[in-house]
Amino acid sequence: MAYALFITRNDIIKNSPLQGALDADALLPFVRTAQDKYLKNLLGTVLFAYLQAKIVDQTIDTLSVYYQDLINDHIKNTLIWYSVTEYIPFSSIQFKSNGAIKFTSEQGSAPGKTEVDYLLSKAQDNAEYYALRLQNYLIAYSQNIPQYLQSVCNQT
């Protein structure tokens, strides 16, 4: 089965402090990592796989309003901020065949570890805020999103 991302580069650029000049190839692996590490645990395996299949099949728009709200108002925000959290520690470093390279700008100065740690903490706080809202939504509307309550063992 193909692996589908729940957000795009543009979702992150428009809804986070990361800027438009960001290389999508550098960012998308962090989206996948955040999706696997955090989102799958929040949604549960059954709902995660169900939504991924809908994205791959391009039938996500046919889902009920509960799923649309889940994706647009909760999943995207949560995943955006967890992706930022995963990206920040690597943002100024690239790995090349001859090792790691840290880039600096001629027009600015690189932030220190304390500043980066602060930004990481703020991004983590945002991610956790949206994750809590996501969980509350799933609990409140679990009757309308039955895959949330299913486990891998009792799929019907």
Most confident of 89-93, 94-98, 130-134, 152-156: 130-134
**pLDDT tens digits for 37-55?**
999 999 999 999 999 999 9
**pLDDT tens digits for 55-67?**
999 999 999 999 9
Q: What pLDDT score does 98 carry? A: 61
> What are the tokens at 61?
């728009």
Question: What count of Cα atoms within 13 Å lies in the side-chain half-sphere of residue 80?
Answer: 23
**pLDDT tens digits for 126-141?**
999 999 999 999 999 9
Nearest to 16 by CA among 27, 29, 32, 6: 27
> What are the tokens at 112?
């220190």
Q: What percent of the chain has pLDDT over 90?
A: 56
Q: How many helices (H) and strands (E) does the chain have?
A: 7, 2
Average pLDDT over residues 77-81: 96
- Packed helices 24-34 and 76-87: angle between N→C axes, nearest 10 degrees: 110
Tell me if 48 sits within 8 A of 92, measured CB to CB.
no
pTM score above 0.95:
no
